Chains A and B, each alone.
Chain A
Amino acid sequence: MSNNILKFSMNRSTSVEKINATCLRSVCRLQDSFTDAEVAIEVKMPDLEIVAISGHLQHVYNDEVKNLDERLQKVIGIRVGSGMLKIIKGLMGEDKNLEQLVYMVEECCHGVILTLTKKVLLKAPDDEAGKFAFYSNMVKKNIRLYDRCAGFAKGTPLVAELEAEEGGEKA
């Protein structure tokens, strides 16, 4: 058995560009052994509202998505933000052959979020002590980070100051 020959491969690429002073365009492209698909959204700042969307999907074995464009247009007006996946699914539908498209809309939205995240992270100092203070302050300022991943887990160094303050207030 030739175990070095791939059975399946997949490339998914998401890119975000600023198309004018108030609009970001996020495009997710997927090519795998069975699929060729693309979804593009335009998001208006500062509301992060989806103002335009387009896409296509070709798949080897799934049936063609009927009214694909109509399904995509349903997400116009929703805001990129927490809780968006349930809204996207709810509006576009949860048909089996739509799953990939829904996922790609979500990936486009994540691209926008990560673009804005990058801008915040660029402010982090390069030295270790500065970096530590930066992320320690970040979790204090934004409690949603607390205990949400290994980096900000309960009882770990970056949240020590936050937990000490919390303990102090309780006392």
Chain B
Amino acid sequence: MMLEFMRNKLVDVARLNEDTLSIHGVLDDSIYNLELDFKVNINDLVCSAIEGRWLRWTTPQCPQALTFLKEADGFCLSEGIDNKIHKTVGRRACRHFANLFIECAYAARETVKLLHWQEAVGNEPGLSFKDFLEKDSVGGIPAADVMEPVEPVKKPEPITSPVVSEKSSGGVSSVADASFIGNDGKSDSTGFVIDLHLHTSPASPCASSSVDAMIKEAKRIGLDGICLSDHNYVWSPDVVRDLRKKHDFLVLRANEIVTEQGDMLVYGFYEDVQGIIKLAELKKRVAAVGGFVVAAHPFRGFLTFGADDVGLTTEKAMAREMFKWVDGVETLNGKVTATENGLAQNVAKGLALTATGGSDAHDISTVGTYATTFEHEINSEEGLLSALKEGKCRPVTFR
């Protein structure tokens, strides 16, 4: 059998002196080859003197990543540092350097546990490594909340997604191939337009704009309403009512719930679901209260290839288990490619499921890129639910 791909990662840790570890990491795979060297203070796990090297890379700009590795200088490599590495090294420099850095951080923590045990054995001969760790579960490693951050941490920049296709010069335009939803393909600014999918901070940890800022932006660009669809988060009806009054703007509630089949937008269902729920179970619970389930960005793909590159046809896509359990499909989502939205459109058409649109905005810059237009004015969550169930809506490009 011939290998299609191989990735090898090697991390070595040596003790440079009483206080310092020297870490050397190599990542060598079919695409990339890169190295990392840095020092770690044994007492507090703070890293310094980070140096990176590329031996093989892809884009002409990849070498620029080395400059940004320095931003991780001063990080405390305690448990829980991985997300911070992804968000700084991964986003600013390169995700493959971040991947190797995380391996190096793991190696540093394991080494410090080993060294602390060896010191403890000096005072207590015969102490096993396991017994030592049972007495001190973290092996003498400082907790992340004690050590972090060493310096002020920049809030990670939101992923901004300028829409480069299917874009109108302003106002509302229909999608590139919207004939399947029964519209004439012309601009339609007469409907009642709601962004059915957006996130706010802090309700969604991945979002960076507050709910007030999102509402103000939605009003500014001319939307008629928004639906708060934070991840596994149920907004209080009182808070949402107050937001409506405060901004004199339609604010409704939804929830984006993680299932084993991917993310689902639910409307008219206000149960606090945490963790991963099976889609069949979610559907059962939502149906029991008369709610509506929409498959969010069902074909969201990868950074360099999409559903079309792996040979996923409409027919094969329609046969997915997921579509047995949903009432609608998000066919315009602001975070996926035109091809992936197109595939979702074809599936919705083929299965005669209601099609919706939403920006999936995580900050104000992308509110309303896509939305859903309704035939009649919506002024309540009940009204939204009825319109969705009757299919009196269609996805639109808005911003």
Q: Which residues of A contact B (CB under 8 A)?
A: 1, 3-19, 24, 32-34, 45-48, 60-61, 77-79, 81-83, 86-87, 90-91, 110-111, 113-121, 124, 128, 131-132, 135, 138, 140-153, 156-158, 162-163, 165-166, 169
Contacts and interface: CB of A to CB of B under 8 A. Distances in A.
26 contacts: A4-B14, A6-B14, A7-B14, A8-B111, A10-B9, A14-B6, A15-B5, A18-B2, A60-B130, A61-B129, A90-B275, A110-B99, A114-B5, A131-B60, A135-B60, A142-B303, A143-B163, A143-B337, A144-B337, A146-B161, A149-B92, A151-B61, A152-B61, A158-B60, A158-B61, A166-B164
Interface in B174-223: none
Contact of B64 (A82, A131, A156): A156
A117 B62 contact: no
Interface in B120-178: 129-130, 133, 157, 159-164, 167, 169
A165 B164 contact: yes
A81 B320 CA distance: 15
Given A13-B8, A149-B93, 17 more contacts: A9-B11, A9-B13, A10-B11, A19-B1, A32-B107, A45-B311, A47-B312, A79-B262, A87-B276, A91-B260, A114-B31, A116-B309, A118-B4, A135-B61, A151-B59, A151-B94, A166-B162
Contacts of B90: 149
Contact of A11 (B8, B14, B18): B8
A148 B13 contact: no
Contacts of A144: 159, 161, 302-303, 335-337
Contact of B310 (A86, A116, A147): A116
Given A6-B14, A33-B110, A60-B130, A13 B276 contact: no
Interface string B234-278: 000000000000000000000000101111000000000001100
B102 to A, nearest CB: 9
A17 B4 contact: yes
A61 B135 CA distance: 12
B129 A11 contact: no
A33 B313 CA distance: 46
B5 A12 contact: no
The range of chain B's interface size is: 35 or more
A90 B276 contact: yes
- For the complex of A and B, 8 pairs with smallest distance between CB atoms: A90-B276, A150-B65, A115-B5, A151-B61, A8-B111, A166-B162, A8-B13, A151-B59
B258 A90 contact: yes
Contacts of B5: 14-16, 111, 114-115, 118
A61 B164 contact: no
Contacts of A33: 110, 114
Contacts, number: 239
B115 interface: yes
A117 B129 CA distance: 42
A124 B60 contact: no
Contacts of A121: 31, 58, 304
Nearest to A17: B1
Contact of A6 (B13, B261, B307): B13
A27 to B, nearest CB: 10
B4 A16 contact: yes
